[in-house]
Amino acid sequence: MSKRDLTKGKIINGLLYMSIPAMVGMMSQTVYDLVDMMWVGRLSANAVAAITLFSTIYYIVFVLNNIIGNGSVAVLSQAFGSKDEDMAKSAIINTFSFKLIVGVIAATILYFSLKPVLMLFTDDLLLIENAMAYGKIRTLFLPITFSSVTVITILRCSGDSKSPMIINILTSLLNMILDPLLIFEEIPFIGIRGLGLGIEGAAIATVIATTVSLLVSTYIMFGPKSKYSLGLKDLLKLDKDIVIIITKIGVPEAASGLIQNLANLIMVSLVTAYGTLTIAAWGIMSRLFSFLIMPLSGLTQGGSAMVGQNIGAAKMDRAEEVGLMATKLGFITMSVIAIISFIFMTNIIGVFTTNADVIRIASQGLRAVIVSIPIFAIAFGISTLFGGSGYTIPFLYAAIIGQWVIQVPLMFIVTKVFDLSFPWLASTFIFYAIGQAGVAIYFYKKDSWRKKALEEVEKAVKQKEAKVSID
């Protein structure tokens, strides 16, 4: 486990050191998602639509993971930045145990409610059947998924950016190898016999790769070479105060994710009115959009950990410089990506389906969405200050204003008032991005993140002083 002190040296070097591996690792996962969609697309448009519909519901439940995950970034990175090993170990134990418990609860709820929820969106029995076949397998392994994400977060917050990248790349490659073997009776292009499990094979490939990711990352973080080696009895040592802190920090950001996913549910319900081909197009669009903004997600994760460590070391000005540098890098990078993608959009979509109508619909829709990417970069860059400081209220306001005040009303106007085509529905993302960026800039100018960070530093100092006096 290779760590780096993010409180020293050139900011650009530290930011790139943390962010590039996070980008590469996350992009490898998204490449898998795209390859997965490519293989599933060879089954049928209905299979693509089924995974799209299930994924929309799945990410609503995944908000529970984000409550703890988002809240833990500030707690973990500030603990590592303060060089207090006892505090860091306590943060690790509580994050891991709390997430595992919530994962079991989330899996139970989703498993028994999946079919009724699917029936709210469509009466296509084949679509529901395929979504159930894929979804039940993914749901049963939800606790494993939660735990895998947790250990990756812990590694990254400790200053280890390479291990998560390597784990993500290897597990994504495993996933891509397993996909055709499990999905098809005869693997396309090479003619080797597979297991022919269809859409269920895609789900099984994903959960196997996720389980391997958890095993490898757990060994790196808690194995014999780690000073944070944990036993099973350690996982029972939940500290109520830390759990409350993680939850309080995580709830606003996770609530923003929930609000976003609920808005996406509304969008999917509106998309279903355009027919199964448009649902399939939306599924391809969603995966591609996730891939295109992966550099932003990596920049946010790496930047937030770096901001948190500098706050833990009481270097507020340096923490602010990290956030501003992340914003500049994000805007430039995403502008270049948006231009290239806009030009070659039809060719890119054609990789995932041979259906001419799906290609046309997805290309038109994604071109409208792509315009929003550089604008989102501004909000993502500034948000590193909020995530690293534990001041997560701006995430909630950004979601409410960006989506529910701006995007959702526009979606209804486009579809219900003017009855416009699907690309007009997709273009509402531009106004959502403008709203989110505006909120991020407002809260940055307000400087409340700095006040929150100073409170946490003062609290940590008092805890250290109290500990020294007891010893």
DSSP 75-112: HHHHHHHTT-HHHHHHHHHHHHHHHHHHHHHHHHHHHH
Q: Which of 181, 429, 463, 159 is nearest to 301 (CA)?
A: 159
Q: How far is residue 368's CA from residue 361's CA, in Å, rounded to a whole number?
A: 11
- What pLDDT score was predicted for residue 432? 92
Reported as a single tens digit per residue, the pLDDT across 380-408 is 999 888 878 878 788 888 888 998 899 98
Q: Which of 309, 327, 328 is nearest to 318 (CA)?
A: 309
Residue whose tokens read 């299930």: 54
* Residue 188: C-alpha distances to residues 37, 39, 174, 179, 204 (Å): 14, 9, 18, 12, 19
- 79 burial (CB, 10 Å; 0-12 / 13-18 / 19+) is buried
Residue 337 resides in a domain:
yes
- What residue type is assigned to position 412 of the chain? F
Residue 193 pairs in a beta bridge with: 186
Residue 344 resides in a domain:
yes
* Angle at the Cα of 67 from the Cα atoms of 247 and 118, rounded to 5 degrees: 140
Residue 4 resides in a domain:
no
Tell me the pTM.
0.65
Alpha helix ranges (H) inside 158-198: 162-183
Pair 201, 183: CB distance under 8 Å:
yes
Q: Which of 92, 5, 7, 2 is nearest to 307 (CA)?
A: 7
Residue 335 resides in a domain:
yes
Q: Which residues of the chain have pLDDT under 50?
A: 1, 468, 470-471
Residue 186 pairs in a beta bridge with: 193
Number of domains in the chain: 1
Q: b vs e for 192-228, b when ≥16 Cβ sit within 10 Å of the residue's Cβ?
A: eebeebbbbbbbbbbbbbbbbbbebbbebbbeeeeeb
- What pLDDT score was predicted for residue 405? 92
* Residue 72: C-alpha distances to residues 13, 155, 233, 370, 447 (Å): 24, 12, 21, 31, 22
Q: What sign does the dihedral 241-242-246-249 (CA atoms) show?
A: positive
Rounding to the nearest 10 degrees, give the CA dihedral for residues 271, 272, 274, 280.
80
- What residue type is assigned to position 170 of the chain? L
Residue 368 resides in a domain:
yes
Q: How far is residue 315's CA from residue 313's CA, in Å, rounded to a whole number?
A: 6
Pair 195, 214: CB distance under 8 Å:
no
Tokens encoding 66: 């984000």
- What residue type is assigned to position 137 of the chain? I
Q: How many residues can be counted in the chain?
A: 471
Q: Which of 294, 39, 42 is nearest to 179 (CA)?
A: 39
* Domain range enclosing 146: 11-470
Residue 403 resides in a domain:
yes
Rounding to the nearest 10 degrees, give the CA dihedral for residues 12, 15, 17, 20.
-110
Q: How far is residue 165's CA from residue 227's CA, in Å, rounded to a whole number?
A: 21
Q: b vs e for 305-330, b when ≥16 Cβ sit within 10 Å of the residue's Cβ?
A: bbbbbbbbbbbbebbbbbbebbbebb
Tokens encoding 442: 């407002």
Reported as a single tens digit per residue, the pLDDT across 279-310 is 888 888 887 887 788 888 888 878 888 888 88
Q: How far is residue 235's CA from residue 97's CA, in Å, rounded to a whole number?
A: 5
- What pLDDT score was predicted for residue 470? 47
